[in-house]
Amino acid sequence: MLAMSISSPGLTNPSVTIVAATLAEIDELTRVVDAAGGRVIARRNFAEPPTSLSSDILLIDLGDASAAEAADALLVADAEIAAAGPVIVRASLLNLDAVVHACPDADIVIGRDSVDLHLALATATHGRRRVPSAAFDVASDEGLRLQRLADEIARIARTLVELPEGLGRSGLSGTQGDDGIDDSGGPVASADRAITATEVRVVIRLRRMREKFFSPELFADPAWDMLLDLAAARIERVRVAVSSLCIAAAVPPTTALRWIKAMTDRGLLRRVADPHDARRIFIQLSDEAAIAMEKYLLAARTTMALPI
């Protein structure tokens, strides 16, 4: 059980506005906020007009609404979102892409786990800084993951930068335009045979195969799973939506979203809007990360090492 309070020395009993579809959901969120030390000052459902009250935190629960329904609800709440401090949105994989597009700075919680919601409330109150370790129960896997997040991303970034030069070019070479498609025109011929999407997909399948014999928790490595999936997608010249990348990460979606944000902040990933659908955001490798990935994969092939 995650034991934390959203109160802090700089913000005592933060005010919270709750927006949800049903009275039952509003009551549930009210109990979560009360238990976390917050103070609910406004509650409404999606059919009611936005409140004019300004709160420290805006909490929106979209549940399993469709992407279109979620987009409409967030459009109505646009003024509240703009006026609020931190915004927390509880969503699902059904509407995740619409939420990411409409609220790019929101802390998004996927599913009904109250632990994730408590964590989002605590993070919002602490100004999006990492919540001190004392705020977490040491038995909380999610708490431990978040504590390791910044250090792990920094390690990955250093490793990619330090990979050797001169290993040739592959289908990962070139740049990607704002439409998310590789502008290089496909694999580039070189002295080294280009890395293919099939090779990358084999690595991904080998990683998933381990879960048939061992507990998946033993090998949770969402950053690497996402880098591999995006590397294959770049070679295949296909776009990857946020919801699809969360699935590829092989961890709970809320955890995957935190990794995506951290990796984007570190410059490993970049966000691209879908030019044909305003409710979707695509994620792709940055050009620097794509070059680092091709160097790694070529080096692994050269040494006959499988990155499993």
Q: Please report, for the chain, the start and end positions of each structural domain, with discontinuous segments joined by +.
A: 15-139, 150-302
The domain defined by 150-302 folds into Arc Repressor Mutant, subunit A (1.10.10)
Q: Burial, 23: exposed, middle or buried (Cβ in 10 Å; 0-12, 13-18, 19+)?
A: exposed
Q: What pLDDT was estimated at residue 238? A: 93
Q: What pLDDT was estimated at residue 126? A: 61
Per-residue pLDDT of the chain (308 residues; tens, 9 = 90+): 344 455 444 456 889 999 999 999 999 999 999 888 889 999 999 989 888 888 889 999 998 899 899 999 999 898 888 887 899 999 999 999 999 998 988 999 998 878 888 888 887 776 544 333 333 333 345 545 555 555 555 566 556 556 555 444 456 766 566 555 554 434 333 435 788 999 999 889 988 888 888 887 788 889 999 999 999 999 999 999 999 999 999 989 999 999 999 999 999 999 998 888 767 889 999 999 999 999 888 888 877 655 54
Q: What pLDDT was estimated at residue 267? A: 92
Q: Which CATH number fits domain 15-139: 3.40.50.300, 3.40.470.10, 3.40.50.2300, 3.40.1180.10?
A: 3.40.50.2300
Q: How far apart are CA 221 and CA 160, in angstroms?
A: 16
Q: Give the bridge partners for 20, in sequence order.
A: 45, 61
Q: How far apart are CA 281 and CA 274, in angstroms?
A: 6
Q: What pLDDT was estimated at residue 270? A: 95
Q: What pLDDT was estimated at residue 186? A: 41
Dihedral angle, C-alpha 74, 245, 195, 297, nearest 10 °: 120
Q: How far apart are CA 25 and CA 46, in angstroms?
A: 12
Cα dihedral across residues 9, 15, 19, 23: positive or negative: positive
Q: What pLDDT was estimated at residue 229? A: 96
Q: How far apart are CA 170 and CA 194, in angstroms?
A: 4
Q: What pLDDT was estimated at residue 176? A: 62
